[in-house]
């Protein structure tokens, strides 16, 4: 959860806070986004569809650079000119809670006239729990689509060498040794998603990443040190590679120079070779964790007209047909049972190896806490530093300090994300 990467792939959309009237007397909703290509096409199409069918709300669209987009939104909100809605990760809402700048969506969802019927029964448990994981216990996030990491591998080489699909990191490293012996010029394993690798690898320890009650990082443990020592060995021996040969591990995979790699389920659309397979992410024996990232709507506080208009747009995005198209465009999974009953969605999943391999019922999101992005960055840098040769103990202490600074930005000597 680097500031809106994907990885795991990301959308950022926002709606104008003023709830003003458009030229045709409908309430105007302004969407900001940073995307081009298929995602922009989806946004443009659904804006046209929504506007054509809605007599009370009119949406207009503006695009912004992806770099520093969150900061742009934050500054706009502070100046009273910001968005009504962003489509983001849940933790992004946490920094606005103390100022009362984000809406409790549950009050709109349960509204008998204009809410979302049977919402709790329709949404996956983990998505609902994440949406309610804020420190005030309210729902400041409406999940729209989710993704997580999987393991892509060259089936031809795995079968040729008689390798089993790895279920643990130790099994993966053993496979990589055999691959390097048979194909010394090939990369045995890589990742295009270092954030997800760091989260999974460190998060699979028996201890939690952080203590929510005391708001402190807790990953500096002997178990994590042992795991990092193993990781350092695997990278030192050239079994694991964190930088691609061509600029993209998917390109390396397609060219045959890379035998296996870890990436988001969304990356499957980048694969062009025929004989490949996808498997669930490796685990650490008894301690299992597959990170899940939910993308969703966060509505900023305004007046009732503006908030209701923003909620209607967010509600439109969870309707089965629209949410199906959103998930297909992103390469993501829907957290809604009604969407998964949609025939078009079922056809999409049936043809998607990555989604079929992803253990959606076992994957877990991280809690929506302020400073989470900084914690993820600290853990990601930790893995990168260890792979670059930094002493494990020093790298771990440095990462813990950076994580605590992010979790407690108001403390003297610390800095915000």
Claim to verify: residue 158 and residue 129 sit in the same structural domain? no
Claim to verify: residue 225 and residue 161 sit in the same structural domain? yes
- Residue numbers of the domain that contains 246: 149-290+371-407
**Is 412 domain-assigned?**
no
Claim to verify: residue 240 and residue 387 sit in the same structural domain? yes
The DSSP H or E segment spanning 84 is: strand 83-89
**Is 365 domain-assigned?**
no
Claim to verify: residue 261 and residue 398 sit in the same structural domain? yes
Which tokens go with 362?
Answer: 């076992």
Is residue 299 a contact partner of residue 103, using CB atoms and an 8 Å limit?
A: yes
What is residue 366's DSSP assignment?
A: P
Claim to verify: residue 175 and residue 224 sit in the same structural domain? yes
How many helices (H) and strands (E) are present in the chain, helices listed first? Answer: 18, 13
| Per-residue tens of pLDDT for the chain, all 417 residues | 333 333 323 333 333 334 455 557 888 887 777 778 888 899 899 989 999 999 999 887 777 788 888 899 899 989 988 888 888 899 999 999 999 999 999 999 999 999 999 999 999 999 999 999 999 999 999 999 999 999 999 999 999 999 999 999 999 999 999 999 999 999 999 987 888 899 998 989 877 788 888 889 999 999 999 999 999 999 999 999 998 998 889 999 999 999 999 999 999 999 999 999 999 999 987 778 999 999 999 999 988 998 999 999 999 999 999 999 999 999 999 999 999 999 999 999 999 999 999 999 899 998 898 889 899 999 999 999 999 999 999 999 999 999 999 998 765 443 334
Q: How many domains does the chain have?
A: 2
Q: What is the CATH number of the domain that holds 223?
A: 3.40.190.10
**Is 306 domain-assigned?**
yes
Claim to verify: residue 200 and residue 273 sit in the same structural domain? yes
Give the angle subtended at the CA of 109 by the CAs of 330 and 293, to the nearest 5°.
Answer: 30
**Is 363 domain-assigned?**
no
**Is 309 domain-assigned?**
yes
Claim to verify: residue 228 and residue 190 sit in the same structural domain? yes
What backbone torsions phi and psi does residue 100 show, to the nearest 5 degrees? 70, 35
pTM of the shown model:
0.89
What is residue 270's DSSP assignment?
A: G
Is residue 382 a contact partner of residue 396, using CB atoms and an 8 Å limit?
A: yes
Claim to verify: residue 49 and residue 133 sit in the same structural domain? yes
Is residue 311 a contact partner of residue 331, using CB atoms and an 8 Å limit?
A: no
**Is 415 domain-assigned?**
no
**Is 224 domain-assigned?**
yes
Claim to verify: residue 64 and residue 142 sit in the same structural domain? yes
**Is 37 domain-assigned?**
yes
């Amino acid at each position: 959860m680097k500031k809106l990467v994907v990885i795991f792939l990301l959308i950022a959309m926002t709606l104008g806070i003023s709830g003003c009237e458009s030229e045709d007397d409908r309430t105007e909703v302004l969407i900001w986004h940073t995307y081009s290509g298929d995602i922009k096409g989806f946004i443009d199409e659904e804006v046209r569809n929504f506007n054509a069918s809605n007599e009370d709300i009119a949406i207009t669209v503006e695009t912004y650079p992806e770099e520093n987009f969150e900061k742009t939104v934050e500054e706009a909100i502070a100046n009273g000119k910001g968005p009504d809605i962003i489509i983001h990760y849940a933790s992004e809402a946490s920094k606005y809670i103390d100022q009362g700048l984000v809406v409790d969506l549950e009050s709109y969802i349960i509204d008998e006239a204009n809410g979302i019927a049977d919402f709790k029964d329709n949404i996956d448990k983990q998505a609902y729990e994440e949406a309610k994981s804020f420190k005030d216990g309210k729902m400041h996030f409406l999940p729209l689509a989710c993704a997580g990491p999987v393991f892509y591998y060259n089936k031809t080489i795995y079968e040729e060498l008689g390798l089993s699909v790895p279920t643990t990191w130790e099994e993966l490293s053993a496979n990589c040794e055999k691959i390097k012996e048979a194909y010394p010029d090939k990369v045995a394993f890589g990742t295009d998603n270092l954030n997800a690798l760091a989260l999974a690898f460190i998060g699979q320890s028996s201890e939690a990443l952080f203590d929510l009650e005391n708001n402190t990082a807790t990953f500096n443990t002997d178990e994590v040190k042992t795991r990092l020592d193993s990781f350092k060995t695997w990278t030192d021996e050239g079994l694991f590679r964190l930088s691609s040969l061509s600029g993209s591990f998917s390109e390396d995979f397609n060219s045959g120079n890379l035998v296996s790699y870890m990436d988001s389920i969304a990356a499957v659309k980048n694969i062009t070779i025929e004989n490949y397979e996808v498997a669930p992410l490796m685990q650490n024996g008894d301690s299992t964790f597959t990170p899940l990232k939910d993308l969703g709507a966060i509505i900023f506080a305004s007046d009732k007209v503006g908030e209701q208009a923003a909620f209607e747009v967010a509600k439109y995005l969870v309707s089965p047909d629209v949410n199906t198209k959103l998930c297909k465009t992103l390469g993501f999974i829907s957290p809604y049972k009604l969407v998964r009953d949609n025939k078009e969605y079922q056809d999409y999943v049936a043809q998607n190896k990555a989604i079929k391999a992803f253990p959606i019922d076992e994957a877990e999101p991280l809690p929506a806490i302020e400073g989470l992005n900084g914690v993820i960055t600290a853990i990601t840098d930790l893995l990168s530093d260890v792979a670059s040769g930094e002493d494990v103990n020093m790298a771990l202490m440095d990462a813990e300090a950076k994580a605590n600074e992010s979790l407690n930005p108001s403390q003297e000597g610390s800095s915000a994300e």
